[in-house]
Structure 1
């Protein structure tokens, strides 16, 4: 992945709701978005990058529109104004932050898919693992 070149043309096609945002602002947000994920070895890095940028732009718009991107509204009272939001999950503040927008939720789904570890090996490697009770499987023999 070339981190100095954000795929702006692809971003404009995939996310037309941000056509009103200037290229300079998107480039600045794109450079900041690199702090939120690491490049994958696969082909999904640009997609992840665009999703984080879309997520950050959506949060910025919510804040500019005086909306509170803190969570889902659970109750509202009109007289003497009272608003309640859901509490962040106990698991991870990072995932809670991404779950505030649909773009962040897509990011979490894609990063989970892209970061699945790849395992390579064969018969020789399996014989080195110990079984129940600390013994080597098949007595430590290869075959």
Structure 2
């Protein structure tokens, strides 16, 4: 996969909040996003790719706006301004990073669904992705 094959038209329809981002910027982020997941078979790959790009663009915007995407908000106080974030879990920084945006959360849900072994065939069939009967 290369950034030039990123489904930009679909991305623009599905994620209109990024319509102000130039095509070149999206392609650069799309290339970087390939480092965060492995292509899978079927329709999941493009959807996963678009979700990672949306996640990364969201984080990038927060940083540009001087916001601190450091964790999941756990409490907010309006008077005298107070915001609390959850700390990253000890063994799952990758998952915590994705949970910082709704796009990342959707990515985690889809990657879990797309990586579940599926059974193909009847008697003498097989599981995909290394699964097996128990």
Structure 1 gap segments, 5+ residues each: 126-143
Q: Would you say how many aligned residue pairs link Structure 1 and Structure 2? A: 123
How far the C-alpha of 1:73 sits from its partner, in A, is: 5.0
CA distance in 2, matches of 1:85, 1:116: 31
Aligned to 1:48: 48
Moved over 4 A (4+): 75-79, 119-123
Aligned to 1:24: 24
Q: Alpha carbons of 1:32 and 1:84: their partners in 2 closer, same or farther (altered >3 Å)?
A: same
Aligned to 1:141: none
Structure 2 gap segments, 5+ residues each: 127-134
| TM-score (normalised: structure 1) | 0.75
Say what the alpha-carbon RMSD is for the aligned residues.
Answer: 2.5
The structure number with the bigger radius of gyration is 1
Contact 1:89–1:96 (Cα < 8 Å) also in 2: yes
How far the C-alpha of 1:103 sits from its partner, in A, is: 0.1
Contact 1:62–1:68 (Cα < 8 Å) also in 2: yes
CA distance in 1, matches of 2:77, 2:13: 37
Aligned to 2:116: 116
Aligned to 1:100: 100
| TM-score (normalised: structure 2) | 0.80
1:58 partner SS: helix
